[in-house]
Structure 1
Amino acid sequence: MAKKVYITKSGDTWDMVAKEVYGDELYTSLLMSNNQELIEYFVFPENISITLPEIPKEESLLPDWRS
């Protein structure tokens, strides 16, 4: 399976990406821990590739009936 990637827009931040991709800012730490090479960014320039990890089942914020 191909890795999913988010391409930043100028001004994106980690929490903005988490909200857009996963629907909740609570996944910010998941994004950051899986993209350590980008950790120096607070505000992203455009065209930076962020690898999007799968949400581990036990970390899902959705109830079972919504998954």
Structure 2
Amino acid sequence: MDRANYTTVQGDTWDIIAYKQYGNESLFPLLINANPQHATKVRFDAGVTLFVPAAPEEISEDLPPWKR
């Protein structure tokens, strides 16, 4: 995924946004780190624009450690 912006809808939370953008709610720290001005928010109002950094490349557990 390329870098992009996301505009919140009423009631969005960090994990919901991470799931919508990355398909994985556990990546929410990426969003918080990229948007420190909103780090204390728990639920968003509609219309907040957030920066969405590119998702990290997945590392296959099937690869030997030196190729991960």
State the TM bucket, normalised to the shorter chain.
Answer: 0.7 to 0.9
The one-letter amino acid of 2:14's match is: W
Percent identity reads: 28
2:54 counterpart of 1:54:
yes
The one-letter amino acid of 2:49's match is: S
> Which 5+ residue runs of structure 2 have no aligned equivalent?
62-68
Q: Deviations over 1:6-40 (max 9, x none)?
A: 00000000000000110011110111111101112
Please name the residue that 1:5 is paired with: 5
* Shift of residue 56, structure 1, vs aligned partner: 2.6
SS at match of 1:54: coil
Distance in 2 (CA, whole Å) between partners of 1:31 and 1:49 is 12
Query: What is the TM-score with the length of structure 1 in the denominator?
Result: 0.78
> Which 5+ residue runs of structure 1 have no aligned equivalent?
none
Larger radius of gyration: 2
The one-letter amino acid of 1:20's match is: K
SS at match of 1:17: helix
The one-letter amino acid of 2:22's match is: Y
Cα 1:27–1:62, aligned 2, differ >3 Å: closer, same or farther? farther
